[in-house]
Chains A and B, each alone.
Chain A
Amino acid sequence: MSDGEPLVRWQWIGDHAGELADYTGVHLRLGLLPVLFGLIISVPLGIVCHRRGWLYAPVLTVANILYAIPSLALFMIFVNYTGLTERTVMIPLTLYTLSVLVPAVVDGLASVPEPVRQAATALGFGPARRIVQVELPIAVPVVIAGVRVAAVSSLSLVAVGQLIGQGGLGYYITRGLQLDFPTPIVTAIALIMLLALTTDALLVLAQRLLTPWSRSKVTTS
């Protein structure tokens, strides 16, 4: 970097506001859709693991092994099948969320007090209706704690996708390196962190709205 170049040239941000907004939208899509897909997979999988305890250990092991595969390597492996597309970034990110979301669903269901379960059964709730109307709502705080971790990690991982040309705001990180110009890099990092922290705050808010009875104890882990 040349001497005297400031860390941020505000002028550049002003000139690129429209473009930055477009990439921010792409970034949100690439980062958050995988969390949604992950949740769609994890809720039924978690319910099954909760019902059939012996299934949980092998499922968790597979999820942890998937999580251990580096994102860059996993992107490369999928390039062969899905090309340099958004899917190539979103499939690995979806797989990563499982190692957080499946335990979150299982722990959430395990947090339902036994008397509550029995009371629901006594009131005539069948297994399916009991899961949907009683157990899952009680599991919401623990599940959302997992969703927060998954969403924040996913949004910051998207940037690596730029190495296959699909990185949302990661575009500005490689651009800044090519131009030897720090402003786009700093802007991209700041925007990505802003997206992650805003998402986190919105999820905390969502949890309060969804579970008005547990407003006093919000847990994070």
Chain B
Amino acid sequence: MNELLNQLRLVGDWLASSQQWHGDGGIPQRLLEHLTYSGLSLLFAALIGLASGLLVGHTGRGAFAVAGVATLARAIPTFGLVVLVVTLAGLSTTPVLVALVALAVPPILLNTFEGVRGVDPATRDAARGVGMTEWQVLVRVEVPMALPLILLGLRIAAIQVVATATVAAYPGLGGLGRFIVDGLSRNDYELVIGGSTLVVVLALLVQIGFTALRRAIVSPGLRVAAFTS
């Protein structure tokens, strides 16, 4: 327990020292890099995952392929992918983005697909029966009903991306992982724990953000159902 308190005090000291908050390699710069990697890759992954998930869920074609792609993508070690792309293409933001997009697509794709496929066929038929076009059925019925699962997929992806963006520091890129990797090589435990704490806090903020978003945009009629997922 003393150990834990000591650890917390070290983190407090590190976060409180003003030199961390200014200039090159300070917390604001690293945080910005981290958010850039995470935000951009999540955006690309959402475009790919949502579009294909909605398409496959709506048409029902390619369901088998979705499950296969999801398992295959889950099996790729992200750490290895980042390092490989850096070795092949040199140090730039692109390798991180490629690896993080590959990581983030499967949960978005799978949950979007499951959400749309899970809509009661009778509801879908009723929507067609009142004269909705296929596009309207998708946008006005299927998407709102699938929203809890779609948000779950986006949340899982966002948390994984924020957490995994730390490994980008290993081959020499920026982001909050920089503190952890630098601290490790210098045997500076304070730096390691300080950096780790920042990543944990960021991941928890993402979790809280998505919970709030779900409260705000999921139809009240679906809230009870959403809990079980």
**Best-surrounded residue of A73, A149, A182, A192 (most CB of chain B within 10 A):** A73
Q: With the chains together, A65 CA to B76 CA distance in Å?
A: 24
Q: Given A73-B180, A73-B196, A162-B79, is A149 in contact with B87 using a C-beta cutoff of 8 Å?
A: no
Q: Given A68-B206, A70-B196, is A180 in contact with B87 using a C-beta cutoff of 8 Å?
A: yes
Chain A residues near B163 (CB, 8 Å)? 68-73
Please determine whether B196 and A152 come into contact, CB atoms closer than 8 angstroms: no
Chain B residues near A74 (CB, 8 Å)? 196
Interface string of A152-182 (1 = CB under 8 A from B): 1101111110111000001001101100111
Please determine whether B184 and A197 come into contact, CB atoms closer than 8 angstroms: no
In whole Å, how far is B203's beta carbon from the nearest beta carbon of chain A? 4
**Best-surrounded residue of B79, B80, B171 (most CB of chain A within 10 A):** B80
Q: Given A73-B196, A177-B171, is A67 in contact with B80 using a C-beta cutoff of 8 Å?
A: no
Tell yes or no: B5 within 8 A of A by CB: no
Tell yes or no: A196 within 8 A of B by CB: yes
Contact of B110 among A79, A81, A221 (CB under 8 A): A221
Please determine whether B87 and A68 come into contact, CB atoms closer than 8 angstroms: no
Chain A stretch 176-212: residues in CB contact (< 8 A) with chain B: 176-177, 180-182, 185-186, 188-189, 192-193, 196-197, 200
Tell yes or no: B164 within 8 A of A by CB: yes
Interface segment among B22-30, B47-55, B66-74, B121-129: the answer is B66-74
In whole Å, how far is A71's beta carbon from the nearest beta carbon of chain B? 7
Please determine whether A68 and B184 come into contact, CB atoms closer than 8 angstroms: no
Chain B stretch 71-100: residues in CB contact (< 8 A) with chain A: 71-72, 74-81, 83-84, 86-88
**Residue of A with least CB distance to B184:** A163
**Residue of B with least CB distance to A153:** B74
**Residue of B with least CB distance to A182:** B87
Please determine whether A192 and B77 come into contact, CB atoms closer than 8 angstroms: yes
Please determine whether A197 and B78 come into contact, CB atoms closer than 8 angstroms: no
Interface string of B160-174 (1 = CB under 8 A from A): 001110110011000
Please determine whether B72 and A65 come into contact, CB atoms closer than 8 angstroms: no
In whole Å, how far is A26's beta carbon from the nearest beta carbon of chain B? 15
Tell yes or no: A24 within 8 A of B by CB: no
What is the interface of chain A mostly: helix, strand, loop, or mixed?
helix
Tell yes or no: B56 within 8 A of A by CB: no
Tell yes or no: A47 within 8 A of B by CB: no
Q: With the chains together, A168 CA to B72 CA distance in Å?
A: 20
**Residue of A with least CB distance to B78:** A156
**Residue of A with least CB distance to B189:** A80
Q: With the chains together, A68 CA to B197 CA distance in Å?
A: 12
Chain A residues near B177 (CB, 8 Å)? 72
Please determine whether B167 and A160 come into contact, CB atoms closer than 8 angstroms: yes
Interface size band for A? 35 or more
Chain A residues near B114 (CB, 8 Å)? 221
Please determine whether B170 and A149 come into contact, CB atoms closer than 8 angstroms: no
Tell yes or no: A1 within 8 A of B by CB: yes
Please determine whether A182 and B71 come into contact, CB atoms closer than 8 angstroms: no
In whole Å, how far is B139's beta carbon from the nearest beta carbon of chain A? 25
> Which residues of B are in contact with A by a Cβ distance under 8 Å?
3, 7, 67, 71-72, 74-81, 83-84, 86-88, 110, 114, 159, 162-164, 166-167, 170-171, 177, 180-181, 184, 189, 192-193, 195-197, 199-200, 203-204, 206-207, 227
> Which residues of A are in contact with B by a Cβ distance under 8 Å?
1, 7, 57, 64-65, 67-74, 76-77, 79-81, 148-149, 152-153, 155-160, 162-164, 170, 173-174, 176-177, 180-182, 185-186, 188-189, 192-193, 196-197, 200, 220-221
Q: List 22 A-B contacts (CB under 8 A).
A: A68-B200, A69-B163, A72-B199, A73-B166, A73-B196, A73-B200, A76-B180, A80-B3, A80-B189, A148-B71, A152-B74, A152-B75, A155-B75, A156-B76, A163-B170, A173-B84, A177-B170, A182-B87, A189-B84, A193-B76, A197-B72, A197-B75
Extra contacts besides A69-B203, A70-B199, A192-B75 (16): CB < 8 Å: A68-B163, A72-B163, A72-B177, A72-B180, A148-B71, A149-B74, A156-B75, A156-B76, A157-B77, A173-B77, A176-B83, A177-B86, A193-B72, A193-B75, A197-B75, A220-B67
